[in-house]
């Protein structure tokens, strides 16, 4: 289909909506056209009630995404039981113990608020819960995450945290991430970022290596972070902290001592990237560890930042070795997948990152969208000054930081900045849309109606999305690959991860069961029976 | 794995650790999915709805549809009336269900949205229906939510129009679609006219046809729910999930209610069939008697696989009330029984069963898996039975594990296989037996590995 046809079909699909919904949704859908002067998408606005969105809430973004992977922090969900329960073990941020560290990932702690607590307030129960948690687990850090009713009944979780910090002599942080704040998970990312920069980063002291860095926005789903670390360590990097996959509060406290921040998930962690830039002088570069070519480019970009010949040589050596190790397998799976098309609908970053990995195996992306990306994730950071703050998101605090008197450093000369900006994404992210081909659909906050309709229009071979629409897609005969949970597989990042992904896609496309959907009696004329019944 | 659970039990008053329950709305969503051409709607912020859809999807590996009012902070402060109004308008024009079943969350309950007046003040398209149930997450559990949604449908729809339909109503409780199918099969075999409500069979165990159906063929029809009020009697299976709905129907439409255990195990299935036979005058057919005899045959033949084994059970109360009875009848020792759902009657009933069987065991309602694990550390058991979350304890304490109940997120097919009825009893015996024998054969010396067991 050409771009004009696609545009017509998109319009026709959206015109089926009631007028008010049409008016809203039409600005969230764009057909990529590089001839057009400027293509602006509407994003990060409130969800249309009743539309069957895939979005989650602020609590999910804060507790589920950013804080949850910190394995040495004991997180208490302050609310009725559901929120803690649903975020217990369901996101696959893996963690394992190193030395005397702790790993609380298999526990789910909640104040399990009851009606009486809603009526009389939950502060007392929260304090008691913290006391019990300290007695049982002896944690170094406790984090309290609030849920919808907590904000309404006026529990003062900040005061409770301050009390507990004094009482028990440990770090106790409060996160007001009530589900109704903002319009999606995104507000929760911001809230978590704010507190980590205020209370965690910058509080440690450890000697760092010559090539030291933090990996930001990498949550170690299915072991992604470990595969990236494996490769980086081969090259010789000292990874001071990972935010936050298999992360620890202890590691995060030293993050300010590293030399560089590399950012994988821009949406969830760019706040820390920017604030560390202001406070400590760190540059950040946008990388992508997903896909063979993009992994190699990311490694080269990082080496280029340091600009050290030994490091650059070592990087090339490792890239060559790693690629030669996987090239046969990649070739094998590419032969199976070549020429297929994919539609991608994932949270706030993977819909972009996986386009490169799909390209590595010859699969073209025909639709891509985010649940809760902002315009900069679609269009690039250069549009940030033009983004208008929206009433629904104003309640998400945006904090200002100052250069730190002790730790602020200048890492690069102005000339070097200009030089590097030409070749790498230095303190910048160009967004998803620029790299997409003309005629492909970019869509924000895709809903059920649009999912069904666009699957019919585009007939992709693969629908990469989440658990809520996986089986919708399967019922319709389209193979669906979860790009949140990886369907319990992984890692998909790095070089070995690319092979895992290619293998899983090839397996999903070729599993023989697809051929069994139509019963034989619906495919061939039936002979008349001779048996009298 | 679970390395920080100490052996020493300490009383907790405020902190829940590794809960054995979840919150009301997911149960309400499940109940609403058991109605034909019904879309569940979550009146709260959208995170709840996503979590609940995800959870049911993971349990059943099937699409779970539901819409949400998507509260923002503004609606949290000023009320969710306009969100509900917009939702109703959008849902009917875009997704066209016959009926929208609204449940609430802790958000809309705390702000006190008056659902009755919000719904009656909203324009609903001709021929379409909107019903609601209040499902505050800070009361009870998902089982309470299921019960409340059943009550909501009855309150809005059931009517006694003085035209008796000669049917038996069956509220199956919070069980799998396979169990609903099995209970229906037994009723059909007995030749009893009935309405099962809710009924998720054919909705969330729908076949693969190459075409996605937003409203699959299954589910209790709206007309049949209206007609519940004209039936002869209601059998409520599982007191926690089903009793209140049956009592409400009795109050509203004078349909007598009878409360039974979920028909899991021989005795509970016997009781169910006897009740049906007595209410309807129908005989229990030979083919069902044959099935019963097969179960008892296996129980006698294979008792040594499991007799005398100590078992720890956790999950939803109706399941556990029946499963405790069944495991005792198998000669097993249900040593610990934990539900996350509150309710004094639960502890009382289980205690009574333990006493009668001479078992020195522990039981807890509103308990959690952390307590269960501590008990297991204090005095170990031979087998753990419950939903998927038990696997962490099974691994930590090195105990064989049978997945039964809700949720089961890490194995497939379970929602297609009944655990109710005599057929279900056979399956439970098989699961228990296999788990214990697998363990024995993994651990025994080479010379002790038997060909025949």
Judge if B275 and B305 occupy the same domain: no
* DSSP structure class, residue B19: B
> Is pLDDT of A260 > 80?
yes
Judge if B258 and B306 occupy the same domain: no
Question: Following DSSP, what letter does each residue of A197-232 receive, concatenated?
Answer: HHHTTT-------SSEEEEEEE--BTTHHHHHHHHH
CATH number of the domain to which B121 belongs? 3.40.50.1980
Judge if B57 and B181 occupy the same domain: no
**Distance in angstroms (rounded) separating the CA atoms of residues A241 and B32:** 46
Q: What is the pLDDT of residue A101?
A: 87
Torsion angle in degrees (nearest 10) through CA of A100, A101, A106, A109: 120
Query: For B182-198, how does the pLDDT look when each residue is reduced to its tens digit (9 = 90+)?
Result: 999 999 999 999 999 99
Q: Is residue B163 part of a domain?
A: no
Nearest to A228 by CA among A355, A404, A353, A75: A353
Mean pLDDT for the stretch of residues A80-108: 95
Q: Chain A contacts of B69, Cβ < 8 Å?
A: 49-50
**Distance in angstroms (rounded) separating the CA atoms of residues A410 and A417:** 11
Question: Searching chain A, which residue's CA lies closest to the CA of residue B388?
Answer: A89
**Distance in angstroms (rounded) separating the CA atoms of residues A254 and A249:** 9
CA neighbours within 13 Å on the CB side: how many for A463? 27
**Shortest Cα–Cα distance, B5 to chain A (Å):** 8
ipTM: 0.97
What average pLDDT is seen over chain A? 97
Q: Chain B contacts of A80, Cβ < 8 Å?
A: 23, 106, 136-138
3-state secondary structure A71-126: CCEEEEEECCHHHHHHCCCCCCECCCCCCCCCCCCCCCEECCCCHHHHHHCCHHHH
Q: Is residue B153 part of a domain?
A: no
Question: Searching chain B, which residue's CA lies closest to the CA of residue A89?
Answer: B389
> Is pLDDT of A527 > 80?
no
pLDDT band at residue A531 using 50, 70 and 90 as cut-offs: confident
Query: Are A282 and A320 a contacting pair, CB within 8 Å?
Result: no
Q: Considering Cα of A409, then A413, then A414, then A418, what sign does the dihedral take?
A: negative
> Coil, helix or strand for B358?
coil
> Is pLDDT of B299 > 80?
yes
Judge if B31 and B74 occupy the same domain: yes
pLDDT band at residue A460 using 50, 70 and 90 as cut-offs: very high
Judge if B229 and B191 occupy the same domain: yes
Q: Is residue B363 part of a domain?
A: yes
Nearest to B432 by CA among B391, B393, B394, B403: B403
Q: Is residue B19 part of a domain?
A: no
- Option in A50, A449, A469 nearest B87 (CB): A50
Q: Do residue B4 and residue A51 have CB atoms under 8 angstroms apart?
A: no
Q: Is residue B424 part of a domain?
A: yes
**Shortest Cα–Cα distance, A324 to chain B (Å):** 36
A60 is catalytic: yes
How, if at all, do strands A29-31 and A441-444 pair? antiparallel
**Shortest Cα–Cα distance, A199 to chain B (Å):** 25
Q: What is the pLDDT of residue A532?
A: 67
Q: Chain A contacts of B22, Cβ < 8 Å?
A: 81-82, 85-86
Within B292-332, strands assigned E span 310-315
Query: For A66-81, how does the pLDDT look when each residue is reduced to its tens digit (9 = 90+)?
Result: 999 999 999 999 999 9
Q: Is residue B409 part of a domain?
A: yes
The least confident of A35-39, A417-421, B113-117, B446-450 is A35-39
Q: Is residue B159 part of a domain?
A: no
**Shortest Cα–Cα distance, A14 to chain B (Å):** 11
Would you give the distance in Å from CA A337 to the centre of its chain? 25
Q: What is the pLDDT of residue A312?
A: 98
Strand order in the sheet with B257-260: B194-196, B168-171, B233-237, B257-260
Residues B358-386 as b or e (16 or more Cβ within 10 Å = b): ebebbbbbbbbbbbbbbbbbeeebbbbbb
> Which residues touch B277 (CB under 8 Å, ≥6 apart)?
B190, B283, B284
**Distance in angstroms (rounded) separating the CA atoms of residues B233 and B386:** 32
Q: Which of B250, B285, B320 is the last residue of a domain?
A: B285
Instruction: Identify from A180, A181, A513, A517 which residue to disrupt to test chain B contact, counting B C-beta atoms within 10 A and taking the largest count.
Output: A180
Judge if B263 and B302 occupy the same domain: no
> Is pLDDT of A528 > 80?
no
Q: Where are the domains of chain A?
A: 58-199
The least confident of A95-109, B235-249, B251-265, B287-301 is A95-109
- Option in A46, A50, A148 nearest B107 (CB): A148
**Shortest Cα–Cα distance, B432 to chain A (Å):** 26
Q: Is residue B451 part of a domain?
A: no
Query: For A202-214, how does the pLDDT look when each residue is reduced to its tens digit (9 = 90+)?
Result: 999 999 999 999 9
Mean pLDDT for the stretch of residues A324-349: 98
Q: Chain B contacts of A90, Cβ < 8 Å?
A: 54, 58
**Distance in angstroms (rounded) separating the CA atoms of residues A27 and A346:** 19
| Total count of domains within chain B | 3
What average pLDDT is seen over chain B? 98
Q: Do residue B210 and residue A517 have CB atoms under 8 angstroms apart?
A: yes
Strand order in the sheet with A29-31: A29-31, A441-444, A364-370, A341-346, A462-465, A479-482
The whole domain housing B338 covers 288-445
Q: Chain B contacts of A180, Cβ < 8 Å?
A: 45, 71-73, 75-76, 107
pLDDT band at residue A526 using 50, 70 and 90 as cut-offs: confident
Q: Chain B contacts of A181, Cβ < 8 Å?
A: 73
Instruction: Identify from B1, B4, B6, B14 which residue to disrupt to test chain A contact, counting A C-beta atoms within 10 A and taking the largest count.
Output: B14
Q: What is the pLDDT of residue B54?
A: 98
Q: Which of B264, B285, B306 is the last residue of a domain?
A: B285
Mean pLDDT for the stretch of residues B54-70: 98
Mean pLDDT for the stretch of residues A251-280: 98
Mean pLDDT for the stretch of residues B317-340: 98
Mean pLDDT for the stretch of residues B17-22: 98
> Is pLDDT of A393 > 90?
no
- Option in B19, B73, B86 nearest A110 (CB): B19
A329 is catalytic: no
Cis peptide upstream of residue B198 (ω within 30 degrees of 0) = yes
Number of helices (H), then strands (E), belonging to chain B: the values are 18, 14
> Is pLDDT of A117 > 80?
yes
Query: For A395-415, how does the pLDDT look when each residue is reduced to its tens digit (9 = 90+)?
Result: 899 999 999 999 999 999 999
pLDDT band at residue A362 using 50, 70 and 90 as cut-offs: very high
Mean pLDDT for the stretch of residues A144-149: 98
Query: Are B268 and B262 a contacting pair, CB within 8 Å?
Result: yes
CATH assignment of A58-199, given 3.40.47.10, 3.40.50.300, 3.40.50.1980, 3.40.50.880?
Answer: 3.40.50.1980
Instruction: Identify from B6, B53, B70, B341 which residue to disrupt to test chain A contact, counting A C-beta atoms within 10 A and taking the largest count.
Output: B70
Judge if B270 and B347 occupy the same domain: no
Query: For A307-321, how does the pLDDT look when each residue is reduced to its tens digit (9 = 90+)?
Result: 999 999 999 999 999
Q: Chain A contacts of B48, Cβ < 8 Å?
A: 57, 82, 179
Taking phi first (over 0 means left), then psi (-120 to 50 degrees means alpha), and beta for anything else, what does residue A317 get? alpha
pLDDT band at residue A533 using 50, 70 and 90 as cut-offs: low
> Coil, helix or strand for B382?
coil
A206 is catalytic: no
Instruction: Identify from B2, B50, B144 which residue to disrupt to test chain A contact, counting A C-beta atoms within 10 A and taking the largest count.
Output: B50
Model confidence, pTM: 0.98
A93 is catalytic: no
**Shortest Cα–Cα distance, A9 to chain B (Å):** 17
């Amino acid at each position: 289909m050409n771009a004009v046809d696609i545009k017509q079909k998109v319009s026709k699909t959206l015109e089926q909506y009631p007028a008010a919904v049409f008016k809203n949704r039409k600005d969230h859908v764009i057909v990529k056209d590089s001839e057009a002067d400027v293509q602006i998408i509407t994003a990060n606005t409130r969800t249309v009630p009743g539309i069957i969105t895939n979005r989650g809430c602020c609590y999910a973004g804060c507790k589920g995404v950013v804080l949850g992977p910190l394995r040495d922090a004991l997180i208490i969900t302050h609310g009725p039981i559901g929120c803690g329960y649903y975020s217990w073990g369901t996101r696959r941020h893996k963690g394992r113990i190193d030395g005397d560290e702790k790993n609380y990932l298999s526990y789910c702690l909640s104040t399990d608020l009851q009606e009486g607590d809603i009526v009389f307030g939950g502060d007392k129960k929260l304090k008691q819960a913290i006391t019990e948690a300290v007695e049982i687990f002896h944690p170094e850090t406790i984090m309290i995450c609030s849920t919808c009713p907590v904000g309404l009944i006026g529990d003062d979780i900040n005061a409770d945290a301050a009390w507990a910090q004094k009482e028990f002599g440990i770090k106790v942080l409060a996160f007001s991430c009530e589900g109704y704040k903002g319009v999606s998970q995104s507000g929760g990312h911001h809230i978590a970022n704010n507190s980590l920069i205020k209370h965690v980063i910058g509080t440690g002291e450890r000697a760092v290596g010559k090539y030291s860095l933090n990996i930001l926005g990498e949550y170690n789903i299915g072991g992604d972070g470990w595969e990236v670390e494996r490769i980086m360590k081969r090259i010789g990097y000292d990874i001071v902290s990972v935010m936050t996959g298999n992360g620890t509060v202890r590691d995060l406290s030293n993050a300010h001592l590293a030399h560089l921040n590399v950012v994988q998930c821009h949406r969830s962690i760019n706040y820390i990237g920017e604030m560390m830039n202001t406070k400590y002088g760190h540059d950040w570069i946008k990388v992508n560890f997903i896909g063979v070519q993009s992994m190699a480019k990311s490694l080269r970009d990082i080496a280029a930042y340091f600009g050290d010949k030994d490091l650059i040589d070592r990087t090339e050596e490792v890239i060559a070795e790693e690629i030669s190790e996987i090239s046969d397998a990649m070739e094998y799976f590419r032969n199976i997948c070549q020429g297929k098309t994919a539609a991608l609908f994932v949270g706030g970053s993977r819909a972009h990152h996986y386009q490169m990995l799909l390209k590595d195996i010859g699969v073209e992306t025909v639709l891509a969208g985010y649940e809760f990306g902002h315009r900069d994730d679609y269009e690039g950071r250069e549009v940030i000054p033009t983004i208008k703050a929206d009433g629904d998101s104003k309640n998400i605090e945006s904090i200002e930081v100052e250069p730190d008197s002790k730790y602020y450093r200048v890492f690069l000369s102005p000339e070097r900045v200009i030089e590097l900006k030409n070749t790498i994404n230095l303190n910048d992210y160009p967004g998803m849309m620029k790299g997409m081909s003309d005629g492909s659909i970019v869509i924000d906050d895709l809903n059920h109606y649009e999912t069904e309709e666009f699957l019919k229009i585009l007939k992709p071979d693969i629908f990469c999305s989440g658990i809520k629409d996986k089986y919708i897609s399967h019922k319709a005969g389209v193979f669906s690959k979860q790009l949140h949970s990886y369907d319990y597989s992984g890692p998909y990042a790095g070089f070995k991860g690319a092979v895992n992904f290619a293998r899983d896609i090839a397996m999903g496309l070729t599993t023989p069961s697809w051929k069994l959907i139509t019963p034989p009696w619906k495919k061939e004329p039936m002979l008349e029976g001779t048996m009298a019944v | 794995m679970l390395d920080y659970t100490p052996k020493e039990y300490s009383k907790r008053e405020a902190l829940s650790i590794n809960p054995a329950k979840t919150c009301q709305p997911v149960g309400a969503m499940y109940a609403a999915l058991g109605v034909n051409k019904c879309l569940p709607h979550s009146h709260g912020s959208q995170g709840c709805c996503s979590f609940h859809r995800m959870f049911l999807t993971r349990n059943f590996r099937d699409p779970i549809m539901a819409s949400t009012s998507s509260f923002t902070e503004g609606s949290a402060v000023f009320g969710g009336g306009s969100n509900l109004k917009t939702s109703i308008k959008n849902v009917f024009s875009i997704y066209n269900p016959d009926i929208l079943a609204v449940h609430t969350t802790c958000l809309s309950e705390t702000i006190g949205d008056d659902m009755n007046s919000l719904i009656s003040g909203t324009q609903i398209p001709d021929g379409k229906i909107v019903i609601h149930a209040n499902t505050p997450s800070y009361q009870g559990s998902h089982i309470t939510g299921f019960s409340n949604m059943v009550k909501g449908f009855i309150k809005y729809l059931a009517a006694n129009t003085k035209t008796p339909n000669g049917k038996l109503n069956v509220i199956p409780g919070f069980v799998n679609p396979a169990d609903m199918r099995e209970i229906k099969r037994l009723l059909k075999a007995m030749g009893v006219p009935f309405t099962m409500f809710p009924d998720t069979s054919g909705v969330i165990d729908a076949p693969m046809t190459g075409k996605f159906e937003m409203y699959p063929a299954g589910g209790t029809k709206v007309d049949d729910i209206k007609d519940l009020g004209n039936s002869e009697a209601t059998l409520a299976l599982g007191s926690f999930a089903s009793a209140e709905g049956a009592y409400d129907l009795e109050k509203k439409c004078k349909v007598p209610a009878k409360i039974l255990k979920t028909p899991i195990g021989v005795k509970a299935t016997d009781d169910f069939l006897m009740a049906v036979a007595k209410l309807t005058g129908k005989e229990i057919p030979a083919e069902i008697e044959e099935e019963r005899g097969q179960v008892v045959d296996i129980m006698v033949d294979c008792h040594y696989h499991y007799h005398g084994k100590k078992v720890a059970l956790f999950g939803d109360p109706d399941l556990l009330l029946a499963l405790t009875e069944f495991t005792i009848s198998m000669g097993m020792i249900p040593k610990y029984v934990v539900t996350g759902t509150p309710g004094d009657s639960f502890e009382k009933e289980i205690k009574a069963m333990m006493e009668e069987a001479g078992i020195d065991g522990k039981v807890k309602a509103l308990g959690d898996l952390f307590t269960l694990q501590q008990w297991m550390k204090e005095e170990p058991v031979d087998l753990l039975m419950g939903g998927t979350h038990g696997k962490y304890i099974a691994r930590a304490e090195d105990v064989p594990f049978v997945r039964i109940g809700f949720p089961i997120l890490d194995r497939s097919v379970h929602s297609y296989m009944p655990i109710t009825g005599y057929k279900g009893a056979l399956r439970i015996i098989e699961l228990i037996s296999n788990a214990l024998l697998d363990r024995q054969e993994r651990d025994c010396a080479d010379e002790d590995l038997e060909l025949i067991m």
